[in-house]
């Protein structure tokens, strides 16, 4: 396991806060109330370890395959439905949405390989990520990857806690399937929109792994 580069500054700040809280606690509180000082240490250590775990990148055997669409994020499948996609395709698509809790790995990966033909950032609200309106009203980054099998659109969507979407893709860039494409800090969601006729290989409430679980097959 390694730590994502997006977490270096945040973790450093967490270590500083941990030290600033516990050093005074050790020198001024522990002498009079050892239990309180110990409780402060345990709580702040738990928060620091949670912060470190949020930016973890576990070692995995990544999945790839012609015509396959791979889950771009860890989390739980919360939506499988036919929708009208109004930003790029302007027609009906099959949408699969993955909700990422703060405990999930938040590194995002390319669902397919190919050429990035569209990439746009949208300012927006910070509704809870499982709210259906979050797909169109929240802060989000929309991108489309095209290959010989067609085009797949995905959205990185900020949630109530997520305040920063990081996307490394550029229009015209050639990308590999399951390679890193971005990161979202704290609870959030990723939508994937596939052509009608695609075979969905996941189920509602299923836990999935980014870069590993097969989300579907293109028609």
Catalytic annotation on 188? yes
Of the residues 101, 188, 198, 207, only one is catalytic, namely 188
Site of tokens 């959030």: 188
In order, the DSSP letters of the chain are -EE-GGGHHHHHHHHHHHHHHHHHIIIIITTT-HHHHHHHHHHHHHHHHHHHHHTEE--------TTEEE-SSSEEEEEEEEEEETTTT-EEEEEEEEEE-TTS--EEE-SS-EEEEEEEEE--B---TTSTTHHHHB-EEEEEEEETTEEEEEEEEE-SS---EEE---TT-EE-TTSEEEEE-SSEEEEEEEETTPEE---TT-EE-TTTSEEEE--
- Measured between alpha carbons, how far apart are the two ends of the chain, in Å? 36
| Catalytically annotated residues | 188
């Amino acid at each position: 396991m390694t730590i994502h580069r997006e977490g270096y500054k945040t973790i450093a700040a967490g270590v500083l806060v941990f030290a600033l809280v516990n050093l005074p606690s050790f020198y001024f509180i522990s002498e009079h109330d050892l239990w309180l000082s110990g409780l402060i240490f345990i709580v702040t250590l738990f928060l620091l370890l949670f912060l470190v775990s949020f930016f973890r990148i576990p070692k995995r055997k990544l999945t790839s395959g012609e015509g396959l669409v791979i889950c771009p994020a860890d989390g739980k499948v919360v939506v499988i439905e036919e929708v009208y996609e109004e930003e790029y395709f302007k027609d009906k698509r099959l949408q699969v949405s993955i909700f990422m809790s703060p405990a999930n790995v938040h590194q995002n990966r390319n669902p397919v390989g190919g050429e990035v033909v569209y990439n746009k950032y949208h300012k927006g609200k910070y509704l809870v990520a499982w709210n259906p309106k979050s797909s169109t009203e929240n802060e989000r980054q929309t991108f489309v990857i095209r290959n010989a099998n067609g085009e797949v659109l995905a959205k990185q969507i900020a949630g109530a806690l997520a305040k920063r979407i990081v996307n490394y893709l550029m229009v015209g860039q050639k990308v590999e399937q399951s390679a890193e494409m971005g990161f979202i800090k704290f609870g959030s969601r990723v939508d994937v929109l596939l052509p009608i006729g695609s075979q969905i290989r996941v189920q509602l409430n299923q836990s999935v792994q980014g870069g590993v679980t097969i989300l579907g097959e293109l028609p």
